[in-house]
């Protein structure tokens, strides 16, 4: 009886590659269908192997147990491939997922669970020969957008902590329709934040990415899927004016404080020792620009505001600026998500084009223990609320007075 290449890989994991081990493997394989009980297997072949290879019964029994454990590991291992072209997840067996052909994961779109489809591994996907003990599949929508990414970064942190997973290997996967929006995730702007910020092994991710890019699969003993959700409650608006809205939301993510401290520490950044009431105003280029920004700057000149274009700074520098900001101001956009790392009781003033209601920063400010204020601004380059993401805005005197009043306290 010949030992297949797959069984030979198991033998290569043993320190002693002698014919004794091969004899045990052959006997275990031959008895696999006939004998169910492991103790019976050991009794049947211990004496035979001991006599044939002149080793003690104790040593023979010990070898059999060790090799059988490895054989069982191979039988339950799963082959995995993630397509870089369309994001499809292909596996050799659905048994780890109760034979379901999908993953059920939480998405920030609608704040609900959605499916990520699984499919059987195409035999044309070649074996890379790489073996991993475990991997966490990290669901994502837009890894290229900070606000979206931070949802899934936090949920991943929560999953790792609550499941006590040590030194995990992590690979991002995407909900249906989102994979094509990511570009090259290995070179994504925020990929360093994900891996460095959470203390994950970037080299293993790069290795996995290149393996999948070469249309090869890996062998893995256990696949984890991050299925944690963001705990939140419905909110009700307080008394609102045309200039501002504020909301109530329960603060019920107790791990978030540890999460933001963990990320800040891993990024090599520290909070300033003394609060200095620093104010940062994020400016934008291309979309959601403020048409009268020069007028605004002149009217707020005595308030010691720093005006920044985030894209002019590295990811580390962006985080460092915001971490030591006490009030962050800016037009609706992903860059405001850096606010989540500010000190507790700091303030976010979100300027929103038009009156369409969004709670993007409402829930996060409550979870991150920040004060939140929303200012609705006039759209200047399109019909009101038609497409606020492409709109430019203008701030009037009423809205400037709200900013002044907020900064005075």
Nearest CA to 90 out of 128, 126, 119 is that of 119
The separation between CA 397 and the C-alpha centre of its own chain, rounded to angstroms, equals 41
Q: Can you give the pLDDT at residue 193?
A: 95
Q: Can you give the pLDDT at residue 211?
A: 95
Number of H helices, E strands in the chain: 12, 14
Within 10 angstroms of residue 209's Cβ, the number of other Cβ atoms is 19
Please check whether residue 132 is in contact with residue 116, taking contact to mean a CB–CB distance below 8 angstroms.
no
DSSP string spanning 226-279?
-----------B-S--SSEE-B------TTHHHHHHHHHHHTT----SS----E
Q: How far apart are CA 249 and CA 251, in angstroms?
A: 6
Q: Where in the chain is the domain with CATH 3.40.50?
A: 244-407
CATH 3.40.50 is the classification of domain 244-407: yes
Q: How far apart are CA 241 and CA 402, in angstroms?
A: 11
End-to-end CA distance of the chain: 82
Q: Can you give the pLDDT at residue 101?
A: 87
Nearest CA to 217 out of 295, 123, 331 is that of 123
Nearest CA to 336 out of 397, 380, 288, 304 is that of 288
Q: How far apart are CA 102 and CA 270, in angstroms?
A: 41
Q: Can you give the pLDDT at residue 15?
A: 42
135 strand-pairing partners? 223
Nearest CA to 224 out of 157, 129, 159, 175 is that of 159
Q: Can you give the pLDDT at residue 235?
A: 45
**What three-state secondary structure class fits 216?**
strand
Please check whether residue 10 is in contact with residue 26, taking contact to mean a CB–CB distance below 8 angstroms.
no
Residue 209's contacts (CB-CB under 8 Å, 6 or more residues apart) are 84, 171, 185, 186
**Taking the CA atoms of the chain, what radius of gyration do you get in angstroms?**
28
- The pair of structure tokens assigned to 9 is 């890989």
Residues of the chain below pLDDT 70: 1-57, 60-61, 63-76, 232-251, 274-275, 357, 382-386
- The pair of structure tokens assigned to 367 is 């979870």
Q: Can you give the pLDDT at residue 41?
A: 52
81 strand-pairing partners? 90
* Helix H or strand E segment including 149: helix 146-163
The separation between CA 323 and the C-alpha centre of its own chain, rounded to angstroms, equals 21
Please tell me the pTM assigned to this model: 0.78
89 strand-pairing partners? 82, 118
Q: How far apart are CA 11 and CA 85, in angstroms?
A: 36
127 strand-pairing partners? 217
Q: How far apart are CA 196 and CA 267, in angstroms?
A: 6
- The pair of structure tokens assigned to 81 is 């491939």
């Amino acid at each position: 009886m010949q030992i297949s290449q797959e069984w030979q890989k198991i033998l290569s994991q043993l320190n002693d590659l002698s014919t004794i081990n091969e004899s045990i493997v052959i006997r275990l394989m031959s008895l696999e269908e006939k004998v169910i009980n492991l103790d019976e297997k050991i009794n049947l072949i211990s004496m035979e192997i001991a006599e044939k290879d002149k080793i003690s019964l104790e040593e023979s029994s010990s070898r059999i147990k060790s090799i059988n454990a490895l054989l069982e590991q191979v039988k339950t291992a799963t082959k995995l491939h993630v397509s870089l072209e369309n994001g499809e997840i292909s596996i050799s067996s659905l048994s780890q997922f109760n034979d379901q052909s999908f993953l059920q994961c939480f998405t920030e779109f609608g704040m609900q669970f959605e499916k990520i489809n699984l499919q059987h591994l195409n035999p044309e996907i070649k074996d890379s020969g790489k073996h991993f003990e475990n991997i966490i599949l990290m669901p994502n929508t837009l890894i290229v957008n900070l606000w979206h990414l931070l949802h899934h970064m936090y949920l991943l942190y929560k999953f790792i902590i609550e499941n006590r997973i040590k030194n995990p290997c992590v690979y991002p996967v995407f909900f249906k329709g989102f994979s094509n929006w990511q570009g090259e995730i290995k070179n994504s702007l925020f990929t360093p934040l994900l891996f460095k910020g959470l203390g994950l092994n970037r080299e293993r991710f790069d290795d996995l990415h290149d393996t999948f890019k070469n249309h090869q699969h890996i062998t893995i003993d256990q696949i984890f899927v991050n299925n944690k959700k963001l705990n939140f409650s419905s909110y009700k608006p307080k008394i609102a004016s045309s200039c501002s809205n504020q909301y109530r939301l329960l603060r019920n993510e107790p791990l978030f404080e540890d999460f933001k401290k963990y990320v800040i520490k891993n990024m090599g950044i520290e909070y300033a020792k003394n609060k200095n009431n620093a104010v940062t105003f994020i400016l934008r280029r291309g979309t959601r620009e403020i048409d009268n920004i020069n007028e605004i700057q002149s009217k707020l000149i005595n308030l010691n505001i720093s005006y920044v274009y985030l894209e002019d700074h590295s990811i580390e520098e962006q985080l460092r600026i915001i971490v030591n900001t006490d009030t962050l101001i800016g037009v609706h956009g992903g860059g405001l998500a850096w606010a989540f790392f500010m000190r507790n009781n700091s303030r976010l003033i979100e300027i929103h084009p038009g009156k369409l209601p969004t709670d993007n920063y409402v829930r996060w400010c409550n979870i991150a223990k920040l004060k939140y204020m929303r200012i609705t601004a006039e759209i200047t380059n399109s019909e009101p609320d038609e497409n606020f993401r492409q709109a430019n805005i203008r701030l009037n005197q009423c809205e400037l007075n709200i900013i002044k009043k907020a900064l005075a306290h």
